[in-house]
């Protein structure tokens, strides 16, 4: 199994960033929750605030992984279809390019994460310093695809110049919360990520890409200087 997204790095930074992020909560808010290890720490931090300060806050999780953790901490959960707008969406990122474009999907929840971020009035990205870069070099873009005819979809992506790895959980193909597959696509010498996203979305079988753009992000780091 190829693992492009090591979630075990910088855990202490992630815990600190999660606590800083949790300080942004206010009573009465509706909060979108992304997925991944940073968000797991964030859920723990907000649960502590809610318990100590008796805050009335409701949450929309982007993944079953985060939903279970939030449920275990007794957070109030609602469906995205039950609300009109999200006050703040908190999420992590696998890579942040020029503070304008995110590469996401290492946790396998990119489709739902994108819907939540697009539905939020404010997008707050919790990220350690290692995630920021100004240079586009060789990189991996997670792409969510439908299972039916997935080999044809993979072939079409490779014809664009990508080198595809169908993501697996142990020996089995990983299935997302939407019952789709994730393909981790390695690209080289790509100068325009927005155009890459648009071209990928034109391929039959592609549901969504891990390229996030055209959103106003605020970044929360351990120093909050970004």
The residues that are catalytic are 113
**Is residue 74 a contact partner of residue 111, using CB atoms and an 8 Å limit?**
no
Give the closest residue to 85 by CA, choosing from 57, 120, 115, 125.
120
CB burial of residue 49 (10 Å; 0-12, 13-18, 19+):
middle
The separation between CA 56 and the C-alpha centre of its own chain, rounded to angstroms, equals: 25
Strands (E), the chain: 30-33, 58-61, 76-77, 86-91, 95-97, 101-103, 120-126, 132-133, 139-145, 163-166, 168-169, 172-173, 181-187, 206-209, 211-212, 217-220
Give the closest residue to 126 by CA, choosing from 16, 3, 5, 6.
16
C-alpha–C-alpha distance, residues 210 and 107, integer Å:
11
Q: Using the 8-state DSSP alphabet, how is residue 130 labeled? A: G
Structure token pair of residue 217: 């992000």
């Amino acid at each position: 199994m190829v693992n492009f997204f090591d979630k075990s790095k910088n855990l202490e930074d992630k815990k600190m960033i999660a606590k800083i992020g949790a300080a942004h909560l206010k009573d009465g808010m509706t909060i979108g929750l992304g997925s991944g290890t940073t968000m797991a720490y964030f859920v723990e931090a907000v649960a502590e605030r809610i318990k100590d300060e008796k805050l009335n806050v409701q949450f929309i999780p982007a993944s079953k992984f985060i939903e279970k953790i939030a449920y275990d901490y007794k957070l109030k959960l609602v469906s995205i279809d039950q609300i009109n707008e999200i006050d703040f969406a908190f999420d992590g990122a696998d890579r942040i390019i020029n503070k304008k474009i995110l590469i996401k999907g290492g946790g396998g929840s990119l489709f739902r994460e994108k819907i939540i971020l697009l539905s939020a009035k404010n997008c707050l990205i919790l990220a350690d310093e290692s995630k920021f870069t100004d240079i586009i070099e060789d990189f991996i873009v997670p792409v969510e695809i439908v299972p039916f005819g997935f080999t044809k979809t993979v072939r079409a992506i490779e014809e664009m110049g990508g080198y595809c790895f169908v993501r697996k959980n142990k020996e089995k193909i990983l299935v997302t919360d939407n019952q789709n597959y994730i393909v981790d696509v390695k690209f080289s010498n790509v100068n325009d990520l927005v155009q890459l996203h648009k071209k990928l979305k034109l391929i039959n079988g592609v549901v969504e890409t891990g390229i996030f753009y055209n959103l106003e992000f605020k970044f929360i780091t351990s120093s909050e200087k970004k």
